[in-house]
Amino acid sequence: MIDRRTFIKAGTIGASVLSIGGLATAGGAGARTSGAINKPIVISTWDFGVAANRAAWAVLKNGGAALDAVEAGVRVPEADLSNLTVGKGGYPDRDGHVTLDACIMDDQGNCGSVAALEHIAHPISVARLVMEKTPHVMLVGDGALQFALQNGFEKEQLLTPKSEAAWKAWLKEGKYEPVVNIENKSFTTDKLPGNQYNHDTIGMLALDSDGNLSGACTTSGMAFKMRGRVGDSPIIGAGLYVDNEVGGATATGVGEEVIRTVGSFLVVELMRQGLSPRDACREAVERIIKKKPETAKEIQVGFLALNKQGEYGAFSLQKGFSYAVCDAQQQDLLVDGEHVF
């Protein structure tokens, strides 16, 4: 559970944070007014990002590397059995298998990824080993599991009684159809994938005290997805992208639309062109709307970005997307993100 957290609307963040940290609203949350780089800092998606950030902060505050921080951070929701969309305890696919997707990227442009990984509770750590120990970027399915077991990871049952019950209830409704809306009921923004009843991916970005950036992204993916479905989260450039010259970005929500727009790469490239993190995220969201205006009204996608100066921002299609921020001024900040619809 979250305690001591601060809940701030993005539209009003400037005034309260400004007085503490020299930050302003111009260009979105976390824009700087002075020339100083705001480091170290870690940001991550959703309210469970608050607890994850704390673990990352324990690394960053002691001068640790952003890469170590993001791995330590996202392992927290991966291990949290009450979290139904990340790691162990995540909702299964429509055949009852919990399949996990994750990726990680460092300041050197190195990256590692696993997709459709079963039986391993910490896919992010397997992704890091793919990056560090193999000549490849991505391992999937049985090959990813084999690699994990060879490297000392333990095989576990990831389906908890709670997630199994939710899956069985969903099956009983007789809807063995791929779902985009987890509830598969009439449209309400609250029940969209990625919104408050269906929190999904944790994406985390960190800038360490040496000024280096890294990112991590991990999820059990869309609930009751088709067997073999892989979303954006383990796809470098879609669910996560980091360029140490510019900044990093991560995504949550309906992964298909994020992949179609190569969303996180797009956000980083927009920042390279001079956009603030908030404006870059907004532009990427607008791209989804432009490509699929009708679909965009009925799904959730959110982007979160951090630049090389430690400025951050986010934007989503629908209301309900929040993100957590942790730096020297604030350890438990939860920001209610801006949205289009």
237 near ligand ASP (CB under 6 A): no
87 near ligand ASP (CB under 6 A): no
250 near ligand ASP (CB under 6 A): no
User: Given candidates 21, 64, 87, 231, which one binds ligand ASP under the rule CB under 6 A?
Assistant: 231
Q: Are strands 100-105 and 41-45 parallel, antiparallel or unpaired?
A: unpaired
Segment lying near ligand ASP (by CB under 6 A), choices 3-11, 88-96, 227-235, 316-324:
227-235
User: Given candidates 56, 222, 236, 324, which one binds ligand ASP under the rule CB under 6 A?
Assistant: 222
Question: At its nearest, how many Å lie between ligand ASP and the CB of residue 98?
Answer: 13
Segment lying near ligand ASP (by CB under 6 A), choices 52-60, 109-117, 144-152, 230-238:
230-238
User: Given candidates 233, 250, 307, 309, which one binds ligand ASP under the rule CB under 6 A?
Assistant: 233
What x-and-dash track marks residues 140-179 binding ligand ASP by CB under 6 A?
Answer: ----------------------------------------
Rounded Cα distance between 47 and 332, Å, is 10
Segment lying near ligand ASP (by CB under 6 A), choices 26-34, 66-74, 172-180, 216-224:
216-224
Strand partners, 324: 44, 334
What 3 state SS string does the chain have? CCCCCEEEEHHHHHHHHHHHHCEECCCCCCEECCCCCCCCEEEEECCCHHHHHHHHHHHHCCCCCHHHHHHHHHHHHHHCCCCCCCCCCCCCCCCCCCCEEEEEECCCCCEEEEEEECCCCCHHHHHHHHHHHCCCCEEEHHHHHHHHHHCCCCCCCCCCHHHHHHHHHHHHCCCCCCCCCCCCCCCCHHHCCCCCCCCCCEEEEEECCCCCEEEEEEECCCCCCCCCCCCCCCCECCCEEEECCCEEEEEEECHHHHHHCCHHHHHHHHHHCCCCHHHHHHHHHHHHHHHCHHHHCCCCEEEEEEECCCCEEEEECCCCCEEEEEECCCCCEEEECCECC
User: Given candidates 28, 194, 215, 237, which one binds ligand ASP under the rule CB under 6 A?
Assistant: 194
Convert 158-180 to b/e letters by CB count within 10 Å (16 or more is b).
bbbeebeebbeebeeeeeeeebb
Residue placing its CB nearer to ligand ASP in the complex, 125 or 233 = 233
User: Given candidates 83, 252, 307, 316, which one binds ligand ASP under the rule CB under 6 A?
Assistant: 252
52: left (phi over 0), alpha (psi -120 to 50) or beta: alpha
User: Given candidates 255, 277, 310, 337, which one binds ligand ASP under the rule CB under 6 A?
Assistant: 255
193 near ligand ASP (CB under 6 A): yes
CA nearest to 8, candidates 310, 340, 337, 282: 337
Q: Among 85, 99, 201, 219, which one carries the catalytic annotation?
A: 201
**Number of chain positions touching ligand ASP (CB under 6 A):** 14
Question: At its nearest, how many Å lie between ligand ASP and the CB of residue 84?
Answer: 12
200 near ligand ASP (CB under 6 A): yes
234 near ligand ASP (CB under 6 A): no
Residue placing its CB nearer to ligand ASP in the complex, 65 or 314 = 314
Segment lying near ligand ASP (by CB under 6 A), choices 21-29, 160-168, 207-215, 226-234:
226-234
Residue placing its CB nearer to ligand ASP in the complex, 170 or 311 = 170
Whether residue 188 lies in the annotated active site: no
Question: At its nearest, how many Å lie between ligand ASP and the CB of residue 52?
Answer: 14
Question: At its nearest, how many Å lie between ligand ASP and the CB of residue 200?
Answer: 3
Q: For residue 43, how many C-alpha atoms fall within 13 Å in the half-sphere facing its CB?
A: 28
Which chain residues interact with ligand ASP by CB under 6 A?
A: 193-194, 200-201, 219, 221-222, 231-233, 252-255
Q: Catalytic amino acids?
A: 201
